[in-house]
Chain A
Amino acid sequence: MAIITLPYKYLERLTRTDKKTILDKVALIGSDVERIEEDHADVEFFPDRPDLFSPEGVARAMRGFLGIETGLPAYPVKPSGISFSVDPDLANIRPVLGAAVIRGVKFDDESIQSIMSLQESLHWAVGRGRSKVAIGIHDLDTVKPPFRYIASPRSRKFIPLDYTEEMTMDEILERHPKGRDYARIVRDFPLFPLIVDKDDHVLSFPPIINGERTRVTIDTKNILLDTTGTDKRAVGVAVNIICTAMAEAGAKIESIGIGGVQTPTLAPSERTVSVKECSRLLGIELTPVQMAELLGRMRFGAEPAGAAQVKVRVPCYRADVMHDWDIFEDVAIAYGYDKIMDPPPATFTVGKPHPVQVYAALAREAFCGLGYLEVMPFTLTSEEILYKKMRRPEREGVLHVMHPISIDNTVVRTDLLPLLLEFLTLNRHREIPQRLFTVGDVVDSCHTYQQAAGVSTHMDADFSEAYAAADAVLHELSIASTVKESEDPAFIGGRRADIMVNGNRIGIFGEIHPAVLNAFELEHPVAAFEFDLRAVPGYPEL
């Protein structure tokens, strides 16, 4: 999640109102205020709105929402006369380039920090960790146009940012901290992306690191922005968001010729949307004029187009507008969610429980009647608990998660009994007798179904108790079963039985084997049983 630092003074100057007014309302455009500090607030914005990842962007939105300045913000762009070429050899490596010149920036510590954070947030939200988009910001006055984006031999040397000695690009991937972090994106290509100026000075090795030469400092006046990546739309959005944020801070934007095309234009895109469709989605009656007014507060350029439509100009920085409904959401935000007071839908429907849950509830009732206490163990567990401590072979249908968080959470449970025994271990210090049960999901390969299991521990717990309890629960669920001597190694030989229905084994009961008790560090005998709820007559096919 992107948490943006908003320094009050800067924000107040840009928004043209006081911080209290801003902080009171900022959640209503879609954010969570995380922390209110002496001189700044930290506010989380959602990943679909990267245009709000800077104080400049937040101020722009809040001026509209508070009615201070509405409608489409204008960002004039004039040509810089600079050109930037793209090497065709990059086609399969990192083909897309976006660039712009940003003139007349007045940096102080705060605004440098703000542009650096915006760059990082965009790398995360739009750039997918720099693989899709990577952004470089350079001091334009340290290099000479025209610029070239080329596929370079990996042995090319230059001084990377924060270093004083030259390194080859291969060395950067090995030794530079950023090189190590992002090596995976380029490592497998024979040639690496590189940006150089007229005199072959290196500006950047995208998406890894800039050169030291073009470092941006507090004295930087003019900026060259480069944005490289694999997705044209994402690269364009990143350029637009940075340029418009810098323009909000007072800079002038100039375009660059890439392959003969002047970019960026910072021009809005257009959509004509239906007022009726918007009203139908939101449940509020609107006229085209009202709708246009609400969209103006969300910084869209909007004007009624006839009696039924609104022509919307979407600001170039709005990456999230993919569909007309994205515009309708902004209508609702401007209107205010809490002002929409509709009742629930009127259509008559009847509640209907799912049979799996109905049977689960009946099983719970039977266990409770026998004095068993319900527990709800985790479904993620380990082979150690499920099989090794139980002296059972690993089941064929057990699912191993590919990247477990810890050795205690490597598989999804296939049985419930081992987890109940683990529960008894946790509660060794508590008064006995303890009688516990659980009803819940287990898996067999990709298939989920429900089992029920119970354990009883006290000085006299034995086979007969397990038999009687299992028989009672099975009877309550109308499961007509027979028993057969069992081979389950988790139980004591001669004190265990399989529960059989139509020749299929659906469960087990008996007295837990002392070696299993030892493995679970239990001191008293345990009478236990477990069965498959699919044996309940009338159980649904899953």
Chain B
Amino acid sequence: MAELTQNEKRLLATLVKEHKADAPHLATLLDTTPESIVQWAHLLEDKGLVSLERIVDKSFVYTDEGKEYLNHGLPETQLLKFCRNTTPLDELRKHAAFRIGFGQLRKKGLISVHNGMVSRTDGASTIEDETALKTPLAGGQRTNELIRRGILQEKESVRNSVTIKPEGLALAQQGLDMREETGTLTRDQILSGAWKTLNLRRYDATKLPKKVYPGKIHPYQRIIAEMREILLEMGFEELYGGIVQQSFWNFDALFQPQDHPAREMQDTFYLRETLPLPPGYEKVKAMHESGGETSSTGWGGVWTEEKAEQCVLRTHTTSVSIQHLAKNPNPPVKAFCIGRVYRRETIDTTHLAEFEQLEGIVMDEGVTFGNLLGILREFYHRMGFEGVRFKPSYYPYTEPSLDAEVFVEGIGWIEMGGAGVFREEVTAPLGINYPVLAWGLGVSRIAMLRLGLKDLRYLHRSDVAFLRETPALRPAKGGI
């Protein structure tokens, strides 16, 4: 048995005496409004203790026009009285009731008109309409006609009648706690000890109140934060760098030839701005043209300063890590960067012109390609992916290069990102004398899988309802 509120108890107690009563009557007895009685009765009805009956009473009221006719008769009645056996139409026209009455008489077939003369039909009478006007409840169809003419108005009044059920009676007989209920506990009640005797109102625990939404970080930010945590735990230093980079650091320093397709206008966002080349850039130039002092042949051709000076929106965070390495050539360097990168792609559900990239680098004496695979296994295992495998790939600035794939239950092997050892053509001109292991991955790919998104744009143009409903903790299974 659900708990009863104080008001429900009062109503039930009253009904023990009244058995069955209308809401207004009960309202008078309980010193409240009929609306409140109905509300409490509803609650009691839900609990099977009373039955609530809705009775609709019909009544009629007269409009101003109707009141007039009640005193003087309907216009057709007035006109019919005035009408002799045959009366000239022109004469009838002078009567005040002509405008409405004439039409009504013709419609009801009580008169006929021939050559400007009006004659009454046999037994013409409006007595039934007059009766309906006086006693509309019994008027049937004629009453409806009077309503339609705007003479009468129908009024419905609803009456609620409450009847106690045997279950209600039984409960009341067990005795009801009729002490006054307390809603909000006050400071005085707490301090004075009055709370000890209070009857605190009980709430229905099955009824959810109006929802509140906490402020929280974006689910995508949470995934970024998780990756960041993992890398910090693995002993990596975090890097931050500008989204605007010189082509030199975005491409040339990474041994991307100046005629490489990825450097073309249709793949990269170029800016009009230029920046002066860093000191020592000539070594990079020599590397491109002839392989510098290494065993490399270089790309051949001519390397131009103008192309290297032009600024771009960074196409990868490697532009940030390479500058960090150039500034910190002494081992060990273990660093990572998570940041937005830009590709001039047509935007659709799986491609965006800007997205987050994660990149990690390790530079140390004696580190190997094998260690790189070890880092990747460790990182992806910590991200929750049990199966990790590698296959050869190609990146212009790494050799050997690879792509890492992880196994996702129900989907299969998914490519997660690329990795490799920086080419000597990259490291030598910058004075980096130790191997550099590097890897990167698209953060949004994992976000899309984890959040079950069909459209990547949703990460950046989100529905507030989606953000409110996505819980902070989403138990991940197998990395997803």
Contacts and interface: CB of A to CB of B under 8 A. Distances in A.
Interface stretch (A34-42, A361-369, A510-518): A361-369
A323 interface: yes
A452 interface: no
Contacts of A47: 261, 394
Contact of B243 (A124, A367, A441): A441
Interface in A24-63: 27-30, 46-49
A61 to B, nearest CB: 12
Interface in A443-493: 443, 445-448
Contact of A231 (B234, B238, B301, B389): B301
Interface string A215-248: 0000000000000000111000000000000000
Contacts of A403: 265-266, 269-270, 344
A283 B291 CA distance: 25
Contact of B391 (A337, A347, A405, A447): A337
Contact of A345 (B231, B269, B375, B396): B375
Given A374-B216, A446-B242, A351 B369 contact: no
Contacts of B300: 231-233
B150 interface: no
A368 B247 CA distance: 38
Nearest to B270: A402
A380 interface: yes
A338 B369 CA distance: 12
Interface stretch (B22-30, B153-161, B420-428): B420-428
Contact of A28 (B243, B374, B391): B391
A84 interface: no
A426 interface: yes
B165 to A, nearest CB: 40
A337 B461 contact: no
B316 interface: no
A397 B72 CA distance: 88
Nearest to B268: A403
B232 A542 contact: no
A332 B371 contact: no
A401 interface: yes
Given A233-B300, A402-B265, A30 B467 contact: no
B182 interface: no
Given A332-B400, A373-B216, A405-B346, A337 B390 contact: yes
A232 to B, nearest CB: 8
A282 B369 contact: yes
A338 B407 CA distance: 14
Given A328-B400, A401-B271, A323 B242 contact: no
Contacts of B216: 368, 373-374
Given A281-B368, A323-B423, A373-B213, A443 B244 contact: yes
A407 interface: no
Contacts of B291: 322-323
Contacts of B261: 47, 124, 128
Contact of B215 (A325, A373, A399): A373
Contacts of A361: 225
Contact of B394 (A30, A337, A377, A427): A30
B238 A357 contact: yes
B464 interface: yes
Interface stretch (A172-180, A189-197, A430-438, A523-531): A430-438
A353 B215 contact: no
22 contacts: A30-B394, A132-B259, A233-B300, A322-B299, A325-B400, A325-B424, A329-B399, A333-B392, A333-B400, A340-B369, A343-B371, A349-B332, A372-B215, A373-B216, A376-B221, A401-B269, A402-B272, A403-B270, A423-B462, A426-B461, A445-B273, A446-B244
Interface of B: 213-218, 220-221, 225, 228, 231-244, 259, 261, 265-266, 269-273, 275, 291, 294-301, 311, 313, 331-332, 334, 339-340, 342, 344-347, 352-354, 362, 364, 366-371, 373-375, 378, 389-394, 396, 399-402, 421, 423-425, 435, 437, 459-465, 467-468
Which are the 7 A-B pairs with shortest beta-carbon distances? A283-B370, A283-B368, A342-B370, A351-B232, A46-B394, A30-B392, A329-B400
